[in-house]
Structures are given as structure tokens and as C-alpha cells.
Structure 1
Amino acid sequence: MGIKPLLPGPLGFGTAPLGNMFRAIPEEEAAATVAAAWDQGIRYFDTAPFYGAGLSEIRLGEALAGRPRDAYVLSTKVGRVIHDDVEDPAARELGEKGGLFEHGRPNRMTDDYTADATLRSVEDSLKRLGTDRLDIVWVHDIAQDFHGDQWLARYETARTGAFRVLQKLRDEGVIKAWGLGVNKVEPIELTLDLDEPRPDAFLLAGRYTLLDHDRALQRLLPAAAEQGVDMVVGGPYSSGVLAGGRHFEYQEAPQAILDKVDRIKALAERHGVSIKAAALQFALAHPATAAVVPGATRPSRIAEDVAALHEQVPAAFWADLRAEGLISPFAPVPTV
């Protein structure tokens, strides 16, 4: 159990932005960003069919073509099938995330967590990525934010479908690990309570960040650590608002969040700390965290992420965050 031995380091690259999240990204910019990640030593890449209806997978595959396949770790996701016919991307029903990839490919997408759809999704991802194998496969977005009141029914379909297929693929050595890739803690808590199937790790996006970590600390992360199940932290910048953007939870950030970010930034400036260093190092400080996977669409952002990982952050900064109630008193912080 666990994926730490599989991962090449604590910093990965999340490729949701390569699917034209929020804006249309030129092909050259997407390729240059992946090349920058490679040149900076990043060797773990995470993608999904959902990101631009296959666009992220296609771009990532093209950018990694010619790289030694044994030199990097690749994860993608199942739960959505991409079809050849088209639809209006802006009109897709995406729960709380409407319009997220309106600049992506127009291919029709359907949610499907059954066994057959899982196998098809894996095969389709291999083709789009131009590779012969996947290392990690996550069951994607099986939570309230996309499925509303139907999420538990979808979860049950996945439990008897996708979960069992992925466990079988892992046991046969076709993939090395599997788990859930979600934006909510509840599906992971449910899965940790199962006797079987048993996942290796989880990708939790946006729920263990400087801005939002209380719920994950209560039960999820202690249970994961106890069971030896690793967490990969996605969205460490909370959809960008911690890194100079205006989005939180993939939407325009409310004023209360912007005010909290301003307070964190003021403390960071006082201590000479970059906000990216604070965000990445906070997420990695929990013993259950195996890696953090920020996304980027510009090559310069990659160098910032790598520098942030190694930046010296004084203990007084974390103490002040706690003293001002900006992080939980129960959250582990890095030791200098």
C-alpha cells in the first residue's frame, strides 16, 4: 500500500490547465510548459480525459513523446468517456464546475463508472497519450460537486465497477496503483472504510491547502496515515488564488477568501517568504502527503514551483499563521 516508493519526488505537474482550463492556451505554450517541467527535473505528470475532453492527454502525450518511458511516472483518470461526436463545451452540465473547460475540445463526454467504461477509458487514454502503459489511475470526481444528490449512487456504481477493475489491473501488474481523484473528502472517507477493494493512494484537490484543510485534518488524513494510504495533494494554490489568480474552487473567489489570502500574504512578506513556498511546503508537511501537483500553463511558473519547494521558510512564519488563526493548530508544519 502507498505510492511514495513509486513517485520520483515530492513535486509533480498537474496538467488540467493544458486542457484549456479558463482560457485557450496556444499549442506552443502548452508544449513549452511541459518541456520546462521536464528540464526542471519533474518526472511525475498527472492528467485526465476530463481536462478539455482529452486535450490535456493529447498535449501531454505529444510533449513527452521521445522521452524514455521508464524515466517518468504517469497518472490519468477514469469515470468519463470521451466520444467522437461533438457538443457545445460551454453547455455541459458540470455541477458546481460549469464552464471550466469551455475552451477545450468539443467532443461529447459522458459520466460512466462501470467496469466496461473503465476499461474503455483506460484504452482511450493510452491512445491519446501515445503510451503503452499507465502507472497510476484515479477514479475521477465521484463526489457531490459534480453529481449532487446522485453522488452516492454513482459511488456505488464505481465501487462495484471501476474500483474492482482497477484493483484487478493492479494485481495483474498492468498498472502500479489506483485510487480516487476528487475535490471532496467524503468519498475518500467512505473508501477508507471499505474492506475491499483497497486503493493505494488518493489524489485530493483543494482540500489540503493553506485556505482549506480543517475537514481533511479531522478524520481523513489520520485514517489514511494509519492505513498506509498515501495522499497526493492537487490544487495546492486553491485554483490559483494563492498564486496571484482570482479563482477559488474553480470560480471567481469571494471577498472573504481574497481577504484571507491578503492576510497570509502580508505575513509572508513580513517574513520574506513567497506565497508559493508557504502553500507547497504546508501541503507536504503532513506525513500522509506523498507529493503535491500544482498546475501551470506558462514555463516560468515551473521554475517558481521548484524554487518554492526548496525555499527556507522560518519557523516564526508558521507560528504567526497559527497565532492569527490562519491555519489549524492541529496542522503539521515544516521543521527547519
Structure 2
Amino acid sequence: MSLTHLLPGRLGFGTAPLGNMFRAIPDAEALATVEAAWEHGIRYYDTAPFYGAGLAEERLGEVLSAKPRDSYVLSTKVGRVILDQHETAARDLGEKGGLFEHGNPNTMVHEWTAEATERSIEDSLKRLGTDRLDIVWVHDIAQDFHGDQWLQKFEEARTGAFRVLSRLRDEGVIKAWGLGVNRTEPIELTLALDEPRPDGFLLAGRYTLLDHEHALQRLLPAAQAQGVDMVVGGPYSSGVLAGGTHFEYQQAPAHIVERVGELKALAAAHGVSIKAAALQFALAHPASAAVIPGATRPGRIAEDTAALNETVPAAFWQDLRAAGLVSPAAPLPAGA
């Protein structure tokens, strides 16, 4: 199924922050943020076992389980199985190290086999308090693996998770599946396969104002040619575009801080909020079906909703391109 036809709007809610990303978030604040998303009409919610070792799914489920199930679209991910046992040492999460140090202490196993995929889905359903999932993403296949190792992991996913999810879709158990990754290469490789065929992909951090060149080169042309839709995750580049200090899950380096300053200065000159620029840029590509910023404070939801609907003058987009702050190949919003 086309994601454009499946998703109930262009603005969704990414729940990685609800897993205590970067900081310990009180339960009441996390739950109020989900309620705020619902009150603002957001009806697509994305989560993953990885987010706080199940914590984000638990918090999301506590709110959504009280809502009519047919009134929202829910996606989660496979690739990490959460065990009952607890970690006794620091987790090795590679470039995402320390990201969820305040999450649940449960051990996470990285595995994309058929058996692990089925178990992951069963466990997610319990944590979310629901009887079904709409979309399932295969999470982080290439994350922290290099050379032949990541190709081995990809093959594990191709013969395991891909086939399980394709079968579940064909049986009507789920409506769609695809990849949820921070790298373009595994999606490109998947699109080159004869089978199984994904319905879309969630690309986090690779189609933003700060980073979009690589996705434009090969991935997005291939996706458009095959009618495969994109959900844009991390539109604020780990927060640095929205007033935070992180880029790619770490402290933003000086050259990124400088570029953000240039973007904000140009936006201010046109009376445009940087959030509006970020969200509307991500959605301007024809392959984009939705964008899913995350939040941990209820007030951020109102900001995101307003940013999506903000009127951005064509002159801003034209000056953005003239200043070399976006690729000449990047589609801009209509009227720019």
C-alpha cells in the first residue's frame, strides 16, 4: 500500500525522545506530550523497541490504548529484541552510545532473523497495548557495522525480517513494511532486489536542511521510479535546528553550528521560523509522505503544528538556494 494513502496526514509524531533520549523525562511529561499530539490532530505515531529499551513503546501505549484503534496509524520497528534481564555494564551502541542511558535497563539483542522478527512484533504489541500494527520498519541494518559485516547483517534481514514482514503484509496482518534507517545504502540495496518488495522507508537525518545531498543522488530517484514513499525522521537533525545542541546524536561540531546560524539568520530576515523551514523543506520532495519530528514537552507539539501550516514566502526559498544553503537539486515547496 502506498504510504501516502495509508498515512492520515503529513505530520506525524516520532517517539524516540519518549525513551529518555538525552535526559530522564518524567512519566507525566512524556504522557502529556503524547496527549498533546492527539489533541492537535496528529494520528500517525512511530516508535521502536530501541527507544529506551521498550520505554517509548510503553509510554505511547499507555496513551494510545485508550484511543479508538481505527482512528490512528501506528508503526514500530524490528531488529532489536528486548530481554527481561538487565544490563550490568554500559551498552555498546556505537555512534548512538549514551543516547538512551536513562531508558529501561533491559538488555537489547541486535537480530534481524525471522524468529527475532516475530518475537519482536509480539513483544511490541504487548508494550503498546494493541492488537495490531499498521507499519513495521526494519531498524538500523547498517548501523555500526562496516565492510562485509554490514552486508552479512543485511543478508540476515533479507532472508529473515524482510520475508516475514512481506508475508504478514500479504496476509493482511500489517498494511506496509520497509526500512527505518539513518543510512541511505541499505535502502538503495533493498530497492535493487527483485523481492521482497518494501512499501516505503523511514529515513532519519538524511533528508534535512543540513544533510540531503546523498539522498538526492541515487536513493530518491530510485524510490520515485518504483513508487516507494519516504517518511522523513529527524527533520531537526537531532535537535540542532530547533534550538538544541545535538547533531547526529552527539554535540554539534563548530561547522554545523555555523551553518545553523546562517540558516537561522536567513529565516529571521524573512520572518520565517526555522522549524517551518525544516519541516516544509523535508516535505517538498515528491517522495515524502510525512515528516515525524519528536518531542518531550507538550508545547513543542503546538510549535510543530504551527510550523507545518506557517506561510513561508517564496523569496525565502529562493534566497536559501542562492546562498548555497540547499542543493540545487533539492525540490522546494510549491510557489518557490
TM range (shorter): over 0.9
CA RMSD, Structure 1 to Structure 2 (Å): 0.8
Per-residue Cα deviation, 1:274-309 (whole angstroms, up to 9, x for no partner): 000000000000000000000000000000000000
Aligned to 2:272: 273
Q: Percentage identity across aligned positions?
A: 77
Per-residue Cα deviation, 1:84-136 (whole angstroms, up to 9, x for no partner): 000047x1111211111000000000001000000000000000000000000
Q: C-alpha distance in 2, partners of 1:92/1:147?
A: 16
Aligned to 2:180: 181
Aligned to 2:201: 202
Asked whether the equivalents of residues 202 and 231 of structure 1 are also in contact (C-alpha less than 8 Å), the reply is yes
Q: C-alpha distance in 1, partners of 2:207/2:168?
A: 29
Asked whether the equivalents of residues 95 and 148 of structure 1 are also in contact (C-alpha less than 8 Å), the reply is no
Aligned to 2:304: 305
TM-score (norm 1): 0.98
Asked whether the equivalents of residues 95 and 147 of structure 1 are also in contact (C-alpha less than 8 Å), the reply is no
SS of residue paired to 2:214:
helix
Residue 214 of structure 1, CA deviation: 0.3
SS of residue paired to 2:203:
strand
Q: C-alpha distance in 2, partners of 1:187/1:112?
A: 16
Q: C-alpha distance in 2, partners of 1:135/1:281?
A: 25
Q: C-alpha distance in 2, partners of 1:108/1:114?
A: 18
SS of residue paired to 2:146:
helix
What one-letter code is carried by the residue in structure 1 that aligns with 2:22? F
What one-letter code is carried by the residue in structure 2 that aligns with 1:73? V
Per-residue Cα deviation, 1:133-157 (whole angstroms, up to 9, x for no partner): 00000000111x3323421111110
What one-letter code is carried by the residue in structure 1 that aligns with 2:252? A
Q: C-alpha distance in 2, partners of 1:2/1:206?
A: 22
Structure 1 residue runs of 5 or longer lacking an equivalent are none
What one-letter code is carried by the residue in structure 1 that aligns with 2:9? G
What one-letter code is carried by the residue in structure 1 that aligns with 2:145? H
Aligned to 1:37: 37
Aligned to 2:290: 291
Per-residue Cα deviation, 1:234-260 (whole angstroms, up to 9, x for no partner): 000000000000000010000000000
What one-letter code is carried by the residue in structure 2 that aligns with 1:26? P
Q: C-alpha distance in 1, partners of 2:145/2:118?
A: 22
Runs (4+) off by over 6 Å: none
Per-residue Cα deviation, 1:1-45 (whole angstroms, up to 9, x for no partner): 421111000000000000000000000000000000000000000
Q: C-alpha distance in 2, partners of 1:148/1:2?
A: 32
Per-residue Cα deviation, 1:317-336 (whole angstroms, up to 9, x for no partner): 11111111100011000024
Q: C-alpha distance in 2, partners of 1:148/1:12?
A: 32
What one-letter code is carried by the residue in structure 1 that aligns with 2:236? Y
Aligned to 1:264: 263
Q: Does 1:3 align with 2:3?
A: yes
Q: C-alpha distance in 2, partners of 1:147/1:170?
A: 28
Asked whether the equivalents of residues 137 and 177 of structure 1 are also in contact (C-alpha less than 8 Å), the reply is yes
Match runs of 1:137-216 below 5 Å? 137-143=136-142, 145-149=143-147, 150-216=149-215
Aligned to 1:79: 79
Q: C-alpha distance in 1, partners of 2:246/2:52?
A: 18
Structure 2 residue runs of 5 or longer lacking an equivalent are none
Aligned to 1:101: 100
